Chain A
Amino acid sequence: MGGKRSRWLDPPKRRPNPKGSALVLVCALGFVGFVALGTFRDGHRSVDLVPSAFVLAIAGLFVFGAIRDLYWWRKLQRVSDEEIAHRAEAEKVLVGALPTLPAPAHTPGKYGYRLTAGHDFGPGYVVLLLLALLWLIPTALAWQEGFGPFTIASIIAEVVMLALVARRLLILLRIRPTDVEVSAHPVAIGERFTLTFTQHGPLHTNSLDVRLVCEEEVRYQVGTDTRTETRIVFDQPLISELGLHIPVQRPFHTSLELVVPDDAMHSFQVPNNVVRWKVITRGDVPNFPDFERVAQLVVLPARPVAGGYRAPGRA
């Protein structure tokens, strides 16, 4: 909903504190060194590796956060406070006043706004990986007890989970990034915009399809279950390429002029009912799992002739 905002690109925008980030980075790295020294004292492992690995993973998250903040501090150095405030205010008028619209998620791109793509290795797969690692414990214990039905079931479950994770990891590592950029975001119904598509190589595909899709999603209760149903109500092919060879030095790149239909529905999001616009990229790679990447496009209602919308009571 409108209240959900990505950290930097939607209001409230704020500059990262470089001193704070640097301090966190130094402390986290120092902590990593301390734990590593404690774990391998005198060249020998002195404590259990599992808790050490857990502590190191948490410290790693702090290191990642500090590096990200320093990156954004560097990136925003040349953008004035007024410009940040102006962008934030413009988005507030357009989006903040319309709470049923999802907040746009994008990063600055070469051709406008790079739409945030769904991750190949999303949170669901991180949970699956953790579950697979945790499941190793009962599997190992069952193995020590003997080779019974529980052991077989445990091993099958472990293999299935690891295979699913490995398949995703393969896609993540093998398929180079897909960039979908739009000249304006959010886009309003009836407004012309340019969509720029870039698929980085090296990649060889049997087919590569890019579509603009509008889908409805509803959630409802049946007894104590909550069910979700999704239906694609609009599907416009944008790019369709067969037998594509993309070398590393020349990404596949194409631009299209688009207009969301004048009589279409804008993006809409309330807890159990959603209308969502997406740009879906689907690739069929020979001897490799197919991949699908989804970028969300926020579509506003048609703009009134006079300019932006105003909430009731707003001057």
Chain B
Amino acid sequence: MIEIELATQVVSPGAQLTGRYTVDGRTVRAQVSLIWHTEGKGTDHREVLALVEHGDADLGPLGERRSGTFTFTLPGAPTSYSGNLLQIRWLVRVRAWSEGEHTELANASFVVGGASPPETWKIA
């Protein structure tokens, strides 16, 4: 099982996101990607903004669990959003390959920016 720990759950646009993950001890390769995607009524849109590959040498010592760290710099947009017809979600995805090409996948979602649902917006 893959476990992902993010340093923070709410990140400002343009800021850095750091985190750490642990994978099964038999893992030989892992990929960490930074993704945002839309959900809702419209056809989904997904963008992978960064992808980091961790090989056997990067995954820490062999043992019961192996681990890796990551740092991503977020772009200025889009921010997370929970609208009526569409939502924008951000996540870090870790995909791990163990011996025999068995793959595992886990996501950790986080929030970018401070946009609220539109019902709460008030103009000054």
> Interface digits, B80-106 against A, CB 8 Å rule (1 contact, 0 not)?
010111101000000000000000000
In the assembled complex, the CB of A42 is this many whole angstroms from the nearest CB of chain B, namely 63
Q: How far in angstroms is the closest Cβ of chain B from A258?
A: 7
Question: Who on chain B is nearest to A100 by CB?
Answer: B78
Query: Which residues of B have CB within 8 Å of A272?
Result: 38, 42-45
Given the complex, which residues of B lie within 8 Å of A212, measured CB to CB? 123
Please report the C-alpha to C-alpha distance between residue A130 and residue B94 in the assembled complex, in whole angstroms: 55
User: CA separation between A275 and B80, bound complex, in Å?
Assistant: 12
What DSSP secondary structure best describes chain B's contact surface?
Answer: loop
Residue from B76, B81, B119 in contact with A309 in the complex, judged by beta carbons closer than 8 Å: B76
CB of B40 closer than 8 Å to a CB of A: yes
**A142 in contact (CB, < 8 A):** no
CA of A224 to CA of B116 in the docked complex: distance in angstroms? 35
* A271 CA to B38 CA, complexed, in Å: 11
Nearest opposing residue in chain A for B40, CB measure: A218
* CB-based contact A300/B77 at 8 Å: yes
Question: Chain A contacts of B81 at CB under 8 A?
Answer: 265, 268, 275
Closest-CB distance, A171 to chain B (whole angstroms): 29
Asked whether A7 is an interface residue with its Cβ less than 8 Å from the other chain, the reply is no
Assess whether A74 is interfacial by the CB under 8 Å rule: no
State whether A221 touches B43 (Cβ < 8 A).
yes
B124 on the A face (CB < 8 A): yes
Chain A residue contacts of B119, Cβ below 8 A: 233
A234 to B83, CA, bound (A): 11
* Residues of B with C-beta under 8 A to A311: 75-76
Evaluate contact between A231 and B84: CB separation under 8 angstroms.
yes
**A residues less than 8 Å from B122 (CB atoms):** 261
Known: A271-B45, A272-B43, A301-B79. A258 touches B123 (CB 8 A): yes
Given contacts A100-B77, A264-B115, contact A216 B85 (CB under 8 A): yes
Interface membership of B63, Cβ < 8 A: no
Contact yes or no, B45 A263, CB < 8 A: no
- Chain B contacts with A in 104-124, Cβ cutoff 8 A: 113-116, 118-124
* Sample of 6 more A-B contacts, CB < 8 Å, known A98-B75, A259-B123: A97-B75, A219-B43, A258-B124, A264-B115, A268-B88, A273-B38
Q: What are 13 inter-chain pairs, A to B, with CB distance below 8 A? A: A98-B76, A98-B77, A218-B86, A264-B115, A264-B118, A268-B81, A273-B40, A301-B13, A304-B76, A309-B13, A310-B14, A311-B76, A312-B49
> Nearest 6 A-B pairs (CB), nearest first?
A218-B42, A309-B76, A233-B118, A263-B116, A272-B43, A261-B121
